[in-house]
Each structure stands twice: as C-alpha cells, then as structure tokens.
Chain A
Amino acid sequence: MKLITYTITLLSPVIKTCIKKKSLYCLLAVILFSPAIFAQLKKVSGVVHNEDGMPVASATVTLKGTGRVTVTDENGAFSFAEIPKEAVLAISCIGYENLEYKVGHAATPVIIELKNAAKELQKVAVVSSGYQDIPKERATGSFVKIDKELLNRQTGTNILQRLNGVTSGLLFNTGKQNNNSQNTTGISVRGLSTINGPLDPLVVVDGFIYEGDINNINPNDIESVTILKDAAAASIWGARAGNGVIVITTKKGKFGEPLKIGFNSNMIVQQKPDLYYLPQLSTADYIGMEQFLFNQGYFDDNINTPYMALTPAVSVFLQRRNGAISAADSAAAINTLLKTDSRSQYNRYVYTNAITQQYSVNLEGGGNNNAYTFSAGYNRNISTLSSRSDKLNLSIHNVYRPLKPLQVSLDVYYTNGTSHSGKPGYNTVSVGGRQVPYLALADGSGNPIPVPVNYRKEFTDTLGGGKLLNWDYYPLDDYKHSTTKSSLQELFATIGLQYKFTRNLALDINYQCQQQQIQAVQMHDIQSYYARDLINSFSSLGAATGLVSYHVPLGGIRAVQNAAVASYTGRAQLNFNTAWKRHAVAAIAGGEIRKALNTSDNHTLYGYNSDPLSYSNVDFVNYYTDLITGNSKKIPSPSSLSDIENRFLSVYFNGSYTFNSLYTFSLSARRDGSNLFGASTNDKWKPLWSAGIAWNISDESFYNLALIPSLKFRITYGYSGNVDLSRSAVAVGSYSVASNTNLPFVQINGINNPSLRWEKTGIFNAGIDFDLEGHVLSGSVEYYHKKGTDLYGLAPYDYTTWGGSNELIRNVANMQGNGVDLVINSKNIDKVFKWYSTLLFNYNTSKTTEYESASQTLSSILGGGTIITPVVGKPLYAIAAYKWGGLDTLGNPQGYVNGKLSTDYYAIQSESTQKGQAGNIVYIGPANPVFFGSLINTFTWKRISLDFNISYKFGYYFRKSTISYSQLVNSGTGNSDYAKRWQHAGDEAFTNVPSFVYPASQDRDGFYAASAINVLRAGNIRLQYVNLAYLITPPGNRKAFLKNISVYMNVADAGILWRANKEHIDPDYPSALRPITSWTLGIRTNF
C-alpha cells in the first residue's frame, strides 16, 4: 500500500533556479540543503512532492516523538536542525495520504513523494479564517471546511445554497419571516445569537468582507468554503461575527504547477410549481360563498359604485337580479365559471419549466515566480414565470514574485448580469382586491382576455365615449408591456503585497476595492395597463368640446433606479511564524480600515418615446381630479436619493503557541469601531477577544490506544459581536418633501436611545477530533454554549410618549443557546466497491434568559412561530396555543375562561394576555428544529459513483394554515378546510373546523387559528439530493490528454420522504408554494 519513493539528488530543480536567480535566500537555502553539514545529530532537509512530481506546499512535517513540527514552503521544502539518526518524519497534507519516513542514513535533501488520497470526504489539514491559514492540528477553534468536491454535489448557481445539508451547525431557516433587511441568506450558524439584530452570517470572500449579492459569485470558481463557528475561529472578524462567518476561498494557481484546465457545463431543469399543493377553497364552495354574500347585500356598496370591479360570479348574480338575464342563462354562466380553475389556467398559460444553463472554464498554473488563474463562467436562466437572466463572471488571479522575499498579487473579479422580468405569478392578479379561484386568463382558443382588476369594464368602456385609451388589463399580455430590465456590473479588485523580512516574519498589505452598479429600468410602454390607467385617470373630458386633455402625456412611463455599492478596504498585517526546539508560534497582528458606500437615485420620465427618443415634462406640483373617483391627486413622482456610508476601523491580533506539538494555546483580540450614527465614540469601539487550548493527546508518550491513533481535545471561549448600523442613539429624522404642500419636512423615524450598545455574544466551545485506525471512522464532536448579552429587543412601552410604535428597540435581552455538532465519517466498505458515509447531527436549543419587558408572555407567541419573539425561558422561535375545547353544538370553537369552556373569544384573549401559561394557553414547543442534520452516502464502483443526501429535522412544531372566515369574506382568501366545516348539528363529533358565521368575527377566527388543534409536529425527513457521476477517463491515466472527464446527473429537492404530520403538509411550507424538484445533467473535465 505505502509506496515510498525517495531519491537523492544533490541539486533539485528548485535549487537550480535559485542559483540562476542569484538570490541571497536561495543561496542560503542551498547551504541548508547541503549534505556537508549533518553529523551524528544531523540536520535533515528535504522536498515533498506529489505523484506528478510537483512540490507540495503547506504539508505538515512532524518529527515523531519530539513534537517538533514544520510546514513545507511553496517549493515543498522543509528542514530540521539536529535530529537523531533514527528519527521518523510524519508527513501529512490535505489531499494526500499520511506518510511516515525513516530518515536513517539517507542523504539530504530527501525527496518524499506523497500519494494522492482516495476520493472521500478528506480530512482537512489547513483551515482558513480569512486572515490566515491555520494547520488543523494547531487549531483550537471550530472550523468546518467544505471543499469543492462536496460543493459540486449540488448544482445550483448560488454558492451558499450548496452548503445546505452538507455541513454541520448550519441551518437554512425556511418558512421564517423576519422583517430584517439584514437577513438575506436565511442561514443561521449554530442557531440564533440575536433577537432583533442582523441575522446573516458574515460572508468573506478571499479574505475580505463581501457585501455584494452572493449570486454574483460563480460556484465553479470556489475552491473551498470554511465555516467559522465558535469565538476562537470567528472573533478575528470582530463585531460582525456574532452570527458566524462563512469564508469563501476561490481557486488559485500555485507556483510551479503546470497548466490545468477545468471545464464544467450543465443544464438544470426545474418543473412548474405544484399549484395544487396550496390548500385552496374549491371553486364550487367559493361561488357558493359569493352567492351568499351577494344575497346578504355584501357587495351592494361596490355594485352601487358604478366603477368598482365585480368578480365574474357577482356580475352574473347582478345581471340576474336586474333581470338582464334569465335564470337559465344565469345558471349556465355560473356553470361555466364552475368549470374554470385558475390553477389550470396558470399552469397552461403562465408557468413553464425553468431552465438554467451553466458553463464554466478555469485555467490555472504557475511558473517559478508567478502563478495565475483565469476563469470564466456564464449562466443563463429562464424561470418558471419566463423571466430571464444572464450572468457572466470573469476572474483573474495573478501572483508574481519579483524578488524572493516579495510577492505581489492582483485579483480581479468581474460580474456582468442582466435580467428581464416575466409573467405575473399565481394569485397576483385579483379582481377588485379579491382572490378568485375561477379566473380565466384566456378564451377557448387561447387568446388573452381582460381581467377587471380595479374597475368595471362596462363603466370604463363607456366613460370617455371612445375618446380615452382602452382601460382593460390583460394578464397574459401586459407583462410584455410593463417590464423591468436590470443590469448589474460588479468589479472587485484586490492588490496585495507580501514582504518577508525574515523566514519568520512577513508583512502583508492588501487593498480591495469593490464597485457594483445596478440599474433597473422599469418601462411601462403606452400599451401597458399601468400607463393607460395613469394617463386615463389624469385626463379630463371637456364637457362642451368633448375633447380629452391629458395631464399625464400620451407615451410610455420610464422609471430608472440606479444603485451603486462601493467598498474600500485596506489592511496591513504582520505574520509571524517560528518554531524552535519544542516550540512553535504563529501570530498575526494587523489593522484594517474599511468603508462601504451605498448610493441610489431614482427618477421617472413621462411621455417617454424610444424612437425618436423623447419625453415630456409633467406637473408634479398641482392637484388633479381623478377621472374615475374624483379624488384630488398628484402625478406620482417616485424620485428618491440615498447616500449611506458605513465606516469601520479595526485592529486585531491572533496568536497561537504550540508546545511539543501537544498543546496549543491561542489568543485573539480585536477592537472595532464604526460610525454608528449618534453613538458616542466610546460606544463605537468594541473590544472582543477569545482564547483557546488544544491538546493532541494521541501524540503523548503515554498514549497507547492503537484503535484511535489520532485524538485531539480543544476548548475555546470568547466573544464576538453583532452590530446593526441602522440603529441610532439619538432621535433621528430624515428630510423629505411633503407631497401635498411641497414644503420640506423632517420625519422623526425613531426616538432617542442614548444607551445603545453593540450586541455581544460569548461562546464556549469544546470539541474532540478523532480518527480510527485506517480512517474507518473519523470525525468530531463539539459542544457549545452561547450567551448573548445586550441584545437588541423590541420592548413594549408606553407609547403615550411617542406614538410611532408600541415597541422600542433597545438592548434589553439576554439569551443563551446550547448545542452539539457531530460529524462522523465512515468507510463502510473500502474494496473495489466503496461505500462511505457521513453523518451530520446537530442539536441546538436557544432560549431567552432575560427580557426587560414583563408584558412579553406566552400570549406573544400565539403567532405561529414564524418570527423571533422573546419570551423568558422559551426558545426564540416558539409556539404557544390556546387550549382547545372542541366545537360546541353550534359549531363554535371553544376555548377556556377560568377553566371553563367558553366561546367568549374576547374573554379568552384577555385571559391569555393576563394570565399566560397559568390561564387558557399552553406552551407547545420550539418552532425551529432542535435536532437536524443529514446522512450522506457515497457509493463508488469503478468509475461510477452515486451519492445521496438525506436530511432530517426533528423536535419542532408548526402551525398549519386554516380557514379564516373573515379573510374569506373580506378578500376571498379561502382554505380547503372550509369543506370540512361544521354544517349540521352533530358534526362536532367528526370535525374541528368551526361553522361559518356571518358577520364573520376576526376574534373567533383568530382564536381558532391559534388554538392547539392547528399546531402540528414538524419533524420531517427529505431527500436533499441524489448525485450520479460517471468517470469517462480515469485520473490515473497520465497519457490521456483529457485526464478526467466525468458526466453527472443530479436531482435536487427530491422530495419529502417522511413527515410527522398526517395531513401531508410540508412543514417548511405550510401555506406557500414549495420548491419543486430540479434535474441537472452535466459534464466536467480537468486536463
């Protein structure tokens, strides 16, 4: 198995080059390499290379039994002074099998060849914190590294989405709604550590904070992703690392590497959404309800306001009531409606299968003094609603070493994207504000037909005596005339200088400039409903002349939004690495200055004509009479400007000391400052620190557990922060211009909060890493404890002071979280047929420990657990419900008041707010998974490999959506539970769905919706993805030009395998369209 090749050469090719370059350091190296120096306690030096003869950098070389460690440099070279003759070197490096090498009498430099590791979830040897690369053996913190192999098992265009289900401690929060603009990823690392602060983990790309759109990063350019989970790992990112850090590293060429070309192409097909999944009221029930409401006079106000839109069924009823049609005609017309289903209309005329094409080419390589990477990626997507987007990524990475100690790097990453809006989605077209399940979008022959969204057709058709523009809205046609095209250009360029003062000390100076321009052009041409509606409603009809005068000119309406994001980061950092005898020190210290600018401006042009290019001026100042409603109104001028500049200053230090390769101590500290608006300077600066210790127990001399040759313990503690730059310590107003007076005014957006501070999260982490003999079983177990203090919290307050809100955001809350992350890799079968598994298991709980507001009781979490609601002692996402007392003999839902059954919903509600759990309310449980993870199985047989990922989530609850009669009455939003409602005496024995009552009562509906009967267990198991690959040419074949071609097929979101609820509801999507399986076919090659 262990093929060790070593040859003795006096002058390796590396040294030859050195001499040519006449570099002092090279000469020094040659002297060190010289065999003349060693004696009994000899000095050993050597070069590590791989099977292809290329040097292996960053390999760890350990002198066994002494704890002395060194790492190979870019040329694969290493050396030890004064080693005993019998010394054994242990060499390890990511991607290669570990190797032990007896020095013996071999002459130096020794040449050691490492064998490529078999393709498995490889043990990671170096992790990156974004600021430095840390050998895994010496890391005290909690890092998870996901390499490209694993990332490529999923095929989407978003790199973060590819982390779903393949890494421990990471949860994708589906179905949660947090009104937080700083929650765009939906990802939480080890649960929550904030209540009202930003929820997104910090994303770092190649060492710099990335604040652009993550979709702009081409996943094919990614080498690896590292998740920093605990304080020791993340605290180096300071005040913004409280939610964890995701460090993305792009592919980079290495010195002395021959040209490698990688190509990947695939096509993803996603089916139409399953509209029938939604629990929709049947058309028959819906029309029955409309008939009932019509008879009750519910629609009379609308009917008697001649311009108000009526739904098709109500129009029929009205014609019948007015005697305009016969009973038979009315029945026939209703019958036609009964046969119409909006869902089939949308399926037929609106939705299509979505197609995404991805192409990507990478070139990488390097000479002795330079290394380069070029990559190009192109994505094209047509969505299920026919919106189109194209994206081109180009990147160049170049490192040049003009002098031995100096390294200059230049990275440029360019993205160009365009997108074009598509058709209106399901349920976005309503009639007079009501959802209609029998809406016809096209006639029998497929021609678009109009839908009366706002106004009655009979009214608008006759209003102007034919002089106005047509006032009809055609959903199937209008999207062609009201379009939004956006274009995006992003460029980020990084220039880096690294100067090595000595072998141990280097200075890094990096500067990154990022620029992003987005322009969105919303164009409503003259045929669009938007333009016609606006032009018509601002017209006036001359009573005498019969002429139409226009206040909004005839022509298109063009709104342009320009947004620019720019950030500039400068960093200077000293790296110090040294090892002597049994000691090794690795330290960095640096400072960073950063500013991020967001500017935008919007403006609208009326009377726009593209050819000849022209527009007209309009009067934004004076009031005009709406032709239909008679209201006074102004021509909309949606112009706005914004200019936001966030500034940060940081200084940081991170150091580790390793003794005897057994014990590592780490310490990091960071101080951040920002221009947090209104805060005093002291509050702007926040010191954060962490400390950790690691113990490689398996390297101890007393350790003799042969079964577990590798065992390591680590413990860390530290703080990271979380800052919401939109909060302020003083009353802050913003200037605008009043639309009715044209006077400038200041709107006070929030009142003063002088005690504003940054949130702070303390994290304790303890972990064990183990590896069994022959890697049969390896993995890690980690326990963590998080404690958040000074968290931003919404506290109800006496709004008599300021009525803008009944809650104020203050630093009012503390929380804590506990959890376990477990990763187990196993080699179940390791013959020609291979079966490897990875089990990810996570346990996470969180609870609010302190909250300033006492009125926050269980009744605050009757809402269904989709938003973070702090209640002391309960998880951040939690569900409580009213005790359910069944239906009474009239079909009314019953709760409890003073322990007795009651239908006084007002009293039930009062008791729940006053007594909480002591009253008529029960705490159900968390609304976010407590146990979750996945099982990844990989089967390989010869050139075929198959892997599938089964993910699971347990220990939580969700609230199903159900019928609300008041919503049904007011907006036509129904629910299929309507069919199960109580209708006759005795039904209460069979159903829990209350009877329909009119007038509808929100109190009754609200009680029923929030009662325990509608809370279900959310546990589920789903097939995350299946990936099948076939290697056409195996990698071992060195002669083949195309070394490594594989074709692959992937099925993503393959479906739910098991769910705890019996009602076939996907708990992550209780009332929304769920994601549909997508299929990918692709080819990948490296040569």
Chain B
Amino acid sequence: MKKLKLNKYVMLLLFLPVIFLSCKKYLEEKSDKSLVVPASLKDLQGVLDDNPIMNSRTTGFGEVYADDYFITPANYNSFGDFDRKSYAWNVKQYNFPNDWANSYLAVYNANYCLENLPGNERTIQNQLQWDNIKGSALFYRAYYFLSLAWDFAKAYDSSTAQTDPGIVLRLTSDFNVPSVRATVKETYEQIINDLMEANNYLPDNPVHPIRPSKAASYAALARAYLSMRSYDSAYKYADLCLNIKSDLLDYNDPEIDPAANVPFRAFNKEIIFYSTQSGAYSTTFPPSCSIDTVLYASYDDNDKRKTVFFRPFNGYHRFKGNYSAATNTLFSGIATDEMFLVKAECLARRGNADEAMNTLNTLLEKRWVTGTFAPFKAATAGEALDIILQERRKELLMRCLRLTDIKRLNKEGRNITPVRIIEGQTYTLPPNDSRYALPLPQDIINETGMPQN
C-alpha cells in the first residue's frame, strides 16, 4: 500500500516539470504576422514609401486663403462654419484633424528613419539603399517643413526673420521632447541644411516620382530660396534641377484630352516629385470652386490650357488641370514647368530679359495650339518679370503655391490684395496682414503653450 503511494508520488514529480515549464521563447513569437518594428533598410525604405502619408500631406490651408478662386453664393451657403470663416480669412480656432497634424505625420516618419538608419551599417552592398533612405528622409523633412513654413509663418524677411516666429522644427520622434516654435530664420536654415545634406545621398532620378531624387532636392531648394527672395540661389538650383530633368508635356499630345474631366495621366513626365495636398477643403475643392474670372479671361484662345485646365460650369469656370490626375485632389508636388518659371523669373530679376523670355517661351510653346505660338518678347527686364509672374500664376494655379507667392511679392511692393465679396460685403486681405501667417490649431496651442500667430 505504502509502496504504491510512493510510486504515484514519483509519477507526480515527473509531471511537475511539464506543468511549470515556462518557455521564454514561447512568448517571443510575433502576435500579428503582418506587423513589424521597422528597423531594417527594407523596412525603413518601406516607411518612406508610405505614399498615402509621405506624398499626400502638404498643407492645403494656404490655398484656401489665396485668390485663384472664388465661391458662388449658393456654394458658400452650403458650407459649414469653418469653411465660411476661412473663406473670409476669419479662422480663429480649429482643432484636430488638420494640416498641422498631416504634415507632421510625414515629419515623424522621416525622423524615425533618420534615427533608426544608423542601426544598419552602411556597406558596399547596401550603400545605394542606405543613401537613398538617408537622403529621402532629409528631403521629406525639409519638404514638409517648407510647406508648413509657407502657411504657418510670415513671409521670409531678412530684416525680421531672426525674431518672427516660425514653425516647430521637430528633429526627433520622441514625443517627450516639447514643441517650441523656431524663428523664421532658423526654420529656413534647417530646411536648406537638410536639403543640402540630402543632395549628397540622393540619386539624380528616382525609381518613381513618389520618391525623392537629387532633381527634387534641387527643386525644393529653388522653391525655398525663391520664397526667401534669394533669387540667385533659386536660379542656381532651378538650373541644376533642369539639368537633370527638363521634360515638358506638349499639351497638343493626343493623350491629353481637353474635353476630359481628368485630362492628365497619373505621374506624367513633367513631375519631378509627386505630392498632393492633404485633406479636402470645401472652399478649394476643385469640383465646387470657380476660378477667378479675370485670371480665366487672361488665357489666350490659342492657349490649350484654356480648355485643358478648365471646364465651363454654370456661367463660370472650374479647374480640372490637376497633375494629380484626379478631379478632387490638388497637386502640390514639383514639376518641370515650375522650375522653368523659377529659372525665368530669376533670370529676369538678374536683368537678363532675353534669356528669361527664352526660358519662358520654351515652356509656353508646349502649351499653345501647335503652330499658333508667337514667342513672348519683353523690352526690359522689368517687363519680362511682369510677364513671367503673370504666366507663373496662369501655369501654376491651384498648386498650393499662390499664397506664398502673394506673401513674397507683397514684400516687394506688388500690392496684391485678395478680395472676397460675401453676401454683399467686401472683405480684403491687405498686403503683409498678420493673417497671412495662418493660425496654428487651438489644441496644439493649449497643449504646448506656444504663441499663436
């Protein structure tokens, strides 16, 4: 009897290890097979290739404040409070979700990659990939900082840039680091430094226009310098960019159907870097906003853009010339046409009227009905500049560039004053008004205590 019992306890002891077998490895299996903690070069490149974030988050708020468009009373009345207020330049308070969040989401991905890239050793085998990640992340961060600076900071003015509040220069993915507003000067310095560094890593041309390239980085530098009114530098980088890529679409190409609602193909050959504005504002929603009638009237009848870009709607014209190849998304990326215009403008500002007009005519010839184009001529550099600025507006309308152009040009006394007529009342946004720096989201102000614009 006793022996029997003993045997059974021995049996039991044999079972015990089975019971308490705690296998550390057992708990190390990934719970969701599709999840990954991005760390390898492949993962980091994947984070940067997340184009719903990296290529479609530039701010569109600035375009709402700009003057390429207007809203009919019927449409205005159908809008919500925010859209009506923003149309009258009267936004004071708004919260998440917004462009601030959208742009900084892309900044996070860039920072994350920059922080995690050093965990991968750069070797002869992987250097192309490694460099592409490094350059791309720097490019994206600068690209979004520039987009944010255009909207949320005052125009760059070398006399006040040291004190004007700029944007938050987030350079880390750690959310414990508090946000502070840098100055406008620091903001642009960061943008330029990042892009300069990116130039060392990026390939001349990208695998796909959603990816950054040296051409894109030069173009972004041209944009940044242009908005700083550093026209020599802007010229230099626009030219460097065009040396790599200068393809232009001929608007007479049968692929571009002027009657179509979406005349351009996705990722057309002019696109250097593809991005679209985030969100959709009712005000600038292409199917519902009308194009400024004076602007529309300024297109020549032989100018293909008059039909390719616009469709008649209820007595006015609406914009359909998006390079995003969609009816409802505004293209905000960089295309060669913009670089031709930057180059032309800077040439005119240097006093080189002929070369400026030549550059402009190279572009415009592709826009006119074949055989009808008479090259533009300017007697003086000043006249050339006026023509180029007018053509800049006509070529680059609804590309989220207009507000920063107004801000920049008003610094030079061009006295552009957007006007709205709402319910019989006239509203204006006078040059250099404080409202040109758009308000930051209220919840961000509440959370961080940063100064509001």
Contact = CB atoms under 8 A, between A and B. Distances in A.
Contacts of A798: 175, 178-179, 444, 447-448
B327 interface: yes
Interface in B86-141: 92-93, 95-97, 100-105, 108-109, 112
Contacts of B79: 999
A802 B47 contact: no
Most chain A CB within a 10 A radius of its CB, from B19, B57, B77 = B19
A732 B36 contact: yes
Contact of B31 (A675, A733, A803): A675
A797 B179 CA distance: 11
B29 interface: yes
Interface in B398-453: 443-444, 446-448
A733 B43 CA distance: 9
A590 B175 contact: no
Contacts of B208: 741, 743
Given A734-B36, A735-B36, A802 B21 contact: no
Nearest to A742: B208
Given A507-B12, A796-B443, A297 B74 contact: yes
A684 interface: yes
Interface residues of A, number: 86
A772 B30 CA distance: 57
Contact of B27 (A632, A675, A747): A675
Contacts of A593: 21, 26
B26 A298 contact: no
Contacts of A677: 30-32, 35
Interface in A758-773: none
A806 B49 contact: no
A651 B16 CA distance: 12
A704 interface: no
A434 to B, nearest CB: 13
A502 B11 CA distance: 12
A590 B79 CA distance: 65
Given A645-B29, A649-B23, A301 B75 contact: yes
B27 A625 contact: no
Contact of A800 (B18, B260, B448): B448
Contacts of A745: 46-47, 49-51
Contacts of B74: 296-298, 300-301
B108 A803 contact: yes
Contacts of A625: 260, 262
B438 to A, nearest CB: 15
Contact of B262 (A305, A507, A630): A630
A702 B34 CA distance: 67
Interface stretch (A461-469, A545-553, A558-566, A636-644): A636-644
A630 B47 contact: no
Interface string B1-44: 00001001101100100111111101111111111111000010
Contact of B8 (A502, A643, A675): A502
A445 interface: no
Interface string A735-766: 10010110111111101100000000000000
A546 B49 CA distance: 41
A674 to B, nearest CB: 6
A803 B265 CA distance: 30
A647 interface: yes
A804 interface: yes
B222 to A, nearest CB: 25
Contacts of A910: 93
A84 interface: no
B261 interface: yes
Interface in A658-687: 673-678, 681, 684
A649 B26 contact: yes
Most chain A CB within a 10 A radius of its CB, from B210, B313, B447 = B447
A641 B261 contact: no
A88 interface: no
A505 B6 CA distance: 13
Contact of B108 (A501, A644, A802): A802
A1001 interface: yes
B288 interface: yes
Contacts of B103: 803
Interface in A817-860: 855
Most chain B CB within a 10 A radius of its CB, from A589, A748, A800, A970 = A800
A797 B175 CA distance: 9
B392 interface: no
A301 B28 contact: no
Nearest to A570: B18
Contact of B38 (A728, A733, A803): A733
Given A501-B8, A643-B33, A733-B35, A630 B261 contact: yes
Contacts of B95: 806
A391 B48 CA distance: 48
A799 interface: yes
A590 B174 CA distance: 43
Given A675-B28, A745-B47, A632 B326 contact: yes
Interface string A131-170: 0000000000000000000000000000000000000000
Contact of A674 (B27, B108, B314, B326): B27
A623 interface: yes
Interface in A984-1020: 998-1003
A572 interface: yes
A593 to B, nearest CB: 7
Most chain B CB within a 10 A radius of its CB, from A589, A744, A806 = A806
Contact of A623 (B24, B173, B266): B266
B372 interface: no
A806 B96 contact: yes
B190 to A, nearest CB: 15
Contacts of A301: 74-75, 287-288, 314
A969 interface: yes
A651 B20 contact: yes
Most chain A CB within a 10 A radius of its CB, from B43, B81, B101, B178 = B81
Interface in A238-285: none
Given A743-B208, A748-B50, A808-B175, A800 B12 contact: no
Given A647-B27, A730-B37, A797-B175, A803 B112 contact: no
Contact of B314 (A300, A507, A644, A998): A300
B168 interface: yes
Contacts of B76: 999
B80 A966 contact: yes
Contact of B77 (A507, A590, A999): A999
Nearest to B43: A746
A629 interface: yes
Contacts of A186: none
Contacts of B370: none
Contacts of B288: 301
Interface string A901-920: 00000100010010000000
A731 interface: yes
A740 B28 contact: no
Contact of A806 (B35, B327, B443): B443
Contacts of B444: 798-800
Contacts of A802: 104-105, 108, 173, 175
B175 A734 contact: no
Contacts of B109: 748
B27 A801 contact: no
Contact of B12 (A574, A590, A674, A1000): A574
8 contacts: A297-B72, A304-B314, A501-B11, A649-B27, A734-B34, A746-B46, A797-B447, A806-B443
Q: Which 10 A-B pairs have the closest CB atoms?
A: A297-B74, A630-B261, A803-B101, A746-B46, A803-B105, A806-B96, A643-B33, A591-B19, A501-B8, A745-B49
Given A297-B72, A673-B22, 15 more contacts: A591-B20, A630-B327, A643-B32, A643-B33, A647-B26, A677-B31, A681-B27, A733-B38, A735-B34, A741-B51, A748-B47, A796-B447, A803-B100, A806-B97, A999-B76
